[in-house]
Structure 1
Amino acid sequence: MISDSTGETLMTVVRAVTAQFENIHPIEHVYPLIRQERQLDRVISEIEAAPGIVLYTLVEPEFAQHLERACQRIGTPCVNVMQPVHNVFSSFLNVDMAPRVGGQHALDDEYFERMEALNYTMLHDDGQITEDLELADVVLVGVSRTSKTPTCIYLANRGIKAANIPLVPEIKPPRQLMKLKKPLVVGLTASAERIRDIRQNRVLSTIPSTDSDSYIDRKLISQEILRARKLCKEQGWPLIDVTRRSIEETAAEIMAYLRAHKADHRHTPQ
């Protein structure tokens, strides 16, 4: 994987494709920020030493041609993963492409919005601050170990201000949570078995305490889950079961809920 930017696009494409093949274990060689000819020559030398499928996103035409010729000489496949999409856009829009290295990582308003969202999310993790929850786009609630924090961070990287509030036995949810008007509140839940397994691993990696037994007790976990479900139902909050979902899938559903939530608010008289 050869890129003149961070290589994130390539890695996403490659991992999506390799996931469709069973019983293979790909060895990844990632070369980001290739912007000079000597850098590209070094990469080509390494391809010669260990040939494999070459995928690249190089904006500079001379670099792309140099790499294509080298791979043809070596006898290894070489694919510009962006070229088919670029061709479709150019044809449909009837305009030429204006290449920009790392164009998707420009320091524009969207970038700074993502940084602001990430700062907000880190400050509002695990119910640390509740006074300004109204500034959030999304507030996630759920019992311990339902992937609230990683989901919030994923959302923040997409410019969504996300806070999360743990639902703890014998402790009432913060009153600010119950009064929210603008943010979308979403509950996350999972099976008792999954939560118990994750909590057991957590306990094993830390110093056990007197509360450890109740923390991993399946019956008590089931009661926690039922109380959380009841709260979400009473408040009309959507509930997502993350038992068999990846963080990305959970976040995608939350973002769909958020689009609908914003649309409803736009059409609601003030």
Structure 2
Amino acid sequence: MLSAHHEAVSVNSRVKTFYHIHLISDSTGETLNTVARAAAAHYERFHPIEHTYALVRTPKQLHRVLQEVEGNPGIVLFTLVDDGLRRELETRCRMLEVPCISVLDPVVATLATYLNAQSEPRIGAQHTLDSEYFRRIEALNYTMLHDDGQHAETLDAADVVLVGVSRTSKTPTSMYLANRGIKAANVPVVPNVPLPATLEEARHPLIVGLVASPERIAQIRRNRLISLNQDEETPYVDREAITEELVATRRLCGRNNWPLIDVTRRSIEETAAAILNLLSERQYERSAQ
């Protein structure tokens, strides 16, 4: 028999238990979402139903949130600066007998001890319109302008250039990097279409090749054509033709000593993390010279 806080559902012929998780923030809630999903990933058989409440800054707003928590009991994670709201939330959660965790408290407390300083919390402090914020905006503007081989004459201004055949996630990976403040351009490798001369001439950016298995690319391309109501057979989805495209990409990267990343089984986040590691290693090597 399942408890009141858990229910069973069938997903792809497998029974999964789902549970409610309430994410309460006085800011955008991005921190909570990241922490919650990272933790939930450790329990594959359990499926979280997320209830996200952003910009909770008044007792009236908190009251509405608590009504939702009472109606759907589950784990409560929060980031609230206001002491009054924190106390009210923790008190009500104890009454409802649901776990209630301030996710930043252990880290903030450790920093206070290590730095021998008192915390000075400010709502949304991580989203201040400072130089870092405007660096990210500049990176986003550059990345959008240099998507899919556009404006190749200014490729050397990029921090990272992604090279690969169609459907190797170049654009979403570029956008993810841009949101981290990295100017990322991407250039497609297209059969019988010459690459821009500025690509191999570029010296400032880290140039990375993206590849995947022919089967994976063919599947994604076929789904793309179906979504466009174009399901006829073309070289675009032919595995042999795709294999030739991938061989050309590998040769290009080998000739120029550019690193390659196989994205077949990687998420966008994992691909971006690998690129950031390569960029960090490159910067370290250059600083050591």
Fold-level match, TM-score > 0.5? yes
Query: How far apart in 1 are the matches of 2:152 and 2:83?
Result: 52
Find the residue that maps to 2:234 and give its secondary structure: helix
Higher relative contact order (CA 8 A, sep 6+): 1
Matched, 1:113 2:135: yes
Matched, 1:71 2:93: yes
Sort the Cα spacing of 1:75 and 1:209 in 2 relative to 1 into closer, same or farther, 3 A: closer
The Cα offsets for residues 220-248 of structure 1, whole Å up to 9 and x where unpaired, read as 10010011001100000000000111111
> Match for 1:243 among 245, 264, 268?
264
Matched, 1:184 2:209: no
The residue that corresponds to 2:277 in the other structure is 256
State TM-score, norm by structure 2.
Answer: 0.90
Residue 265 of structure 1: how far off its partner (Å):
3.4
Looking at secondary structure, tell me which structure has more strand per residue.
2
Which 5+ residue runs of structure 1 have no aligned equivalent?
Answer: none
CA RMSD of aligned residues (A): 1.3
Find the residue that maps to 1:27 and give its secondary structure: strand
Sort the Cα spacing of 1:209 and 1:26 in 2 relative to 1 into closer, same or farther, 3 A: closer
State TM-score, norm by structure 1.
Answer: 0.96
The Cα offsets for residues 134-177 of structure 1, whole Å up to 9 and x where unpaired, read as 11000000000001000000000000000000000111211010
What amino acid sits opposite 2:274 in the alignment?
E
What amino acid sits opposite 2:234 in the alignment?
D
Query: How far apart in 2 are the matches of 1:262 and 1:23?
Result: 41
The residue that corresponds to 2:106 in the other structure is 84
Sort the Cα spacing of 1:194 and 1:209 in 2 relative to 1 into closer, same or farther, 3 A: closer
> Match for 2:249 among 194, 205, 228?
228
Contact 2:222–2:231 (Cα < 8 Å) also in 1: no
The residue that corresponds to 1:9 in the other structure is 31
The residue that corresponds to 2:225 in the other structure is 203
Query: How far apart in 2 are the matches of 1:193 and 1:209?
Result: 17
Matched, 1:96 2:110: no
> Match for 2:178 among 151, 156, 160?
156
Task: Single out whichever of 17-26 and 159-168 deviates more from structure 2.
Answer: 17-26
The residue that corresponds to 1:168 in the other structure is 190
Find the residue that maps to 2:210 and give its secondary structure: strand
Which 5+ residue runs of structure 2 have no aligned equivalent?
Answer: 1-22
Query: How far apart in 1 are the matches of 2:56 and 2:274?
Result: 36
Query: How far apart in 1 are the matches of 2:280 and 2:50?
Result: 36
The residue that corresponds to 1:213 in the other structure is 234
Query: How far apart in 2 are the matches of 1:83 and 1:264?
Result: 37
Task: Single out whichever of 201-210 and 219-228 deviates more from structure 2.
Answer: 201-210
Residue 50 of structure 1: how far off its partner (Å):
1.6
